[in-house]
Structure 1
Amino acid sequence: MRNISDVIEGYLKEVIELSDREHIEIKRSEVAQKFQCVPSQINYVINTRFTVDRGYIVESKRGGGGYIRIKRIRFHQKADFIAEIIERLKQGATQSMAEDIVFRLLDEEIISKREANLILSAVDRSTLLMPLPVRDEIRARILIAMLFTLKHQPNL
């Protein structure tokens, strides 16, 4: 069974896809009321499921007329998208950052579910049994190598 975070994430993604604008604006309290949860649950979903690594830009304005604006980052060429990820990885990659990148590659249909599972296994903290920050550097180098290979495939 899906948890409330998954349901809220699915709802927000559906609203984004159905929108004829480049972004959506929501009120945290209204979404919380719709799902009968506390507003901090909405914050949690937005902060963990709508990150730059997953392909979203989030802006917020606090106060009475406040809103949360969510915009999906779109690339015209998949190779450009991969190049942007490679550039971000040069600073290292945490476990959650790597997971977000893999989920986005899957969402953009650049990799299959099987490939996603293989990548996640290769960069998991239980596989890379090294101290930080070396582990994050090695994880990033593995991801960069895999992305470089994907970028130079003829179908991109």
Structure 2
Amino acid sequence: MSVFGAVTRRLGHHRWFAAVARLLVPADRAVGRLTRGRVVALGLVPSLILTTTGRRSGQPRSTPLLYVRDEDAYVVVGSNWGQPHQPGWSLNLLADPAAEVTVRGRRVPVRAEVVTGPERDRLWQRLVTEWPAYRTYVRRAGDREIRVFRLVPGGRGVPGAGDRRR
């Protein structure tokens, strides 16, 4: 892990960091598009671009997210930086689990599965090892459930996602 990555992980616990990071998400999306998914989160943490279908609009929606691998799947968490409401992408996956991830410039159609029980506990430990601030986000979110998703390769992906320039 780089020095910048270690510092970023430490700062991730602070409320101001989450506020600044949320403001930088549009810039992160733009960098991800310009580099075709090769650079996300400035390369400080393992990141992918998740493209879901908007549950209301039906349009592709892309979001940069931290992930960990679990065999061939990608594991992401709907922490929303500890805000009291679910992130939009999480609600989109619940409405339509077909999605696409872009990892290091490679697009992969995936199908989302909400992880529960002992499997969630196992994956949660891997997630907080990668990003310890998730524990802080749980406290900030209060009673809100923070969902863990396994994004399993295969499936149809997001209609129209491959047609757009990234």
**TM-score by shorter chain over 0.5:** no
TM-score normalised according to structure 2 size: 0.27
TM-score normalised according to structure 1 size: 0.28
More strand by share: 2
More helix by share: 1
Structure ranking higher on relative contact order (CA contacts 8 Å, 6+ apart)? 2
